[in-house]
């Protein structure tokens, strides 16, 4: 930890000069993390040298140090250890320096070096591809700060649950790897939290097969919920759609977002749909429309209306899906509208 008491300290002139010589915008560092410039010891030239060795040009080095000035407080030995570690999953130094340029803070977090190393090796043993592990290192670095035992325990808990819910041994590895690839943050949950959420679903009459189905559909996000939030969301949906427990269960299986989104989010989206003249009955028929934000719904309705498509009297299916799904549906409606009703080419007169 570095001192952040800035009142009694002066900027380190040697650090400032070294940064200027590398064309680094020192004003930017002063504004964002001035405390870095106050440290008695810094390794500006050494860290820059290692980055250049890996293939970073001057603008890239300057950009890395501006965005993550604390990089200069790490010893060359620490930076080189991190370099060796990330090379375990990078194809070459060109890819490595590109990642450091994009995610300097992830690379220069060296305090958890031993945990990072043990977790990288564990993920490789588990069967995760290196490109997935590099994605984790940059977008979910916190999962590497856990001791490897903690991550192993969560994986083992997931495997036990998968098998107890009727999943097969043959498919378990594929299921775990897919779940992790979709949502690495499940590793930040405790085994207890995972257990509680699954028990909540079982108490609400979801069969083992249905719980497994929900886990796959929700891409592991179910583990970031709590029984309390799920209960509130389900109660909200039950009141809005005026349905029985069995009907509610079918709606949730059709649209797991009813379980995942909090009540305020569901309320806002429902309100947005009703304002557009869509009825609760239509939403109940196609609940997946609640997965879309109000802005997306408004944009899609506007585009369809321009084609003369009346969403109030039609089905909401045409609003659904990803951006790509919508564009395909929109294209079909458009070509249908443009297709002439009669054949403009007169039939050939056979007698002629």
Q: What is the pLDDT of residues 117-134, one digit of tens each?
A: 999 999 999 999 999 999
Q: In total, how many domains does the chain have?
A: 2
Q: Which of 138-142, 173-177, 320-324, 342-346 has the lowest mean pLDDT?
A: 342-346
Q: Of 63, 78, 110, which one is at a domain's C-terminal end?
A: 110
Asked if 172 contacts 215 with a C-beta cutoff of 8 angstroms, the reply is no
Evaluate whether residue 135 is within a structural domain.
no
187-241: pLDDT as tens digits: 988 878 888 989 999 999 999 999 988 888 877 778 788 999 999 999 999 999 9
Distance CA 308, CA 35 (A): 61
Evaluate whether residue 121 is within a structural domain.
no
Evaluate whether residue 136 is within a structural domain.
no
Evaluate whether residue 352 is within a structural domain.
no
Distance CA 73, CA 41 (A): 7
256-271: pLDDT as tens digits: 989 989 999 999 999 9
Evaluate whether residue 217 is within a structural domain.
no
Q: Of 51, 80, 110, which one is at a domain's C-terminal end?
A: 110
| Listed ranges 116-120, 250-254, 256-260, 301-305; the one with the highest mean pLDDT | 116-120
- Report the length, in residues, of the chain: 352
Evaluate whether residue 140 is within a structural domain.
no
Residue 330: CATH number of its domain: 1.25.70.10
| Paired tokens of 27 | 């004003």
Mean pLDDT of 126-144: 94
Q: Of 110, 144, 169, which one is at a domain's C-terminal end?
A: 110
Q: Nearest Cα to 168, choosing from 159, 179, 177? A: 159
The overall average pLDDT reported for the chain is 88
Q: Supply the pTM of this predicted model.
A: 0.77
Evaluate whether residue 236 is within a structural domain.
yes
Residue 72: give the domain boundaries: 11-110
Evaluate whether residue 80 is within a structural domain.
yes
């Amino acid at each position: 930890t570095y001192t952040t008491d800035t009142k009694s300290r002066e900027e380190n002139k040697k650090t400032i000069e070294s940064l200027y010589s590398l064309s680094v915008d020192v004003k930017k560092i002063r504004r964002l993390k001035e405390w870095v410039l106050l440290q008695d010891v810094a390794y500006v030239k050494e860290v820059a040298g290692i980055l250049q060795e890996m293939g970073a040009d001057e603008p890239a080095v300057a950009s890395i140090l501006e965005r993550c000035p604390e990089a200069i407080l790490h010893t060359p030995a620490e930076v080189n250890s991190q370099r060796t570690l990330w090379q375990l999953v990078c194809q070459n130094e060109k890819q490595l320096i590109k990642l450091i340029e994009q995610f300097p803070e992830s690379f220069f977090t060296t305090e958890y070096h031993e945990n990072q190393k043990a977790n990288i090796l564990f993920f490789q043993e588990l069967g995760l591809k290196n490109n997935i592990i590099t994605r984790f290192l940059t977008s979910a670095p916190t999962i590497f700060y856990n001791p490897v035992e903690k991550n192993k325990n969560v994986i083992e808990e997931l495997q036990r649950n998968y098998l107890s819910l009727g999943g097969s041994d043959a498919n378990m590895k594929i299921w775990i790897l897919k779940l992790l690839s979709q949502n690495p943050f499940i590793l930040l949950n405790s085994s207890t939290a995972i257990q509680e959420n699954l028990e909540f679903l079982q108490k609400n009459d979801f069969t083992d097969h249905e719980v497994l189905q929900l886990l796959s559909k929700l891409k592991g996000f179910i583990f970031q919920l709590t029984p309390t939030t799920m209960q509130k969301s389900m109660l909200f949906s039950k009141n809005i759609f005026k349905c029985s427990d069995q009907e509610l269960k079918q709606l949730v299986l059709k649209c797991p977002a009813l379980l995942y989104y909090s009540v305020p989010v569901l309320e806002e989206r429902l309100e947005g749909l009703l304002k557009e003249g869509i009825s609760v009955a239509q939403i109940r028929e196609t609940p997946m429309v609640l997965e879309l934000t109000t802005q997306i719904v408004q944009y899609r309705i506007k585009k369809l209306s321009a084609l003369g498509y009346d969403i109030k009297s039609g089905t909401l299916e045409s609003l659904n899906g990803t951006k790509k799904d919508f564009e395909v549906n929109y294209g079909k409606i458009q070509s249908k509208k443009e297709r002439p009703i009669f054949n403009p080419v007169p039939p050939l007169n056979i007698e002629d």
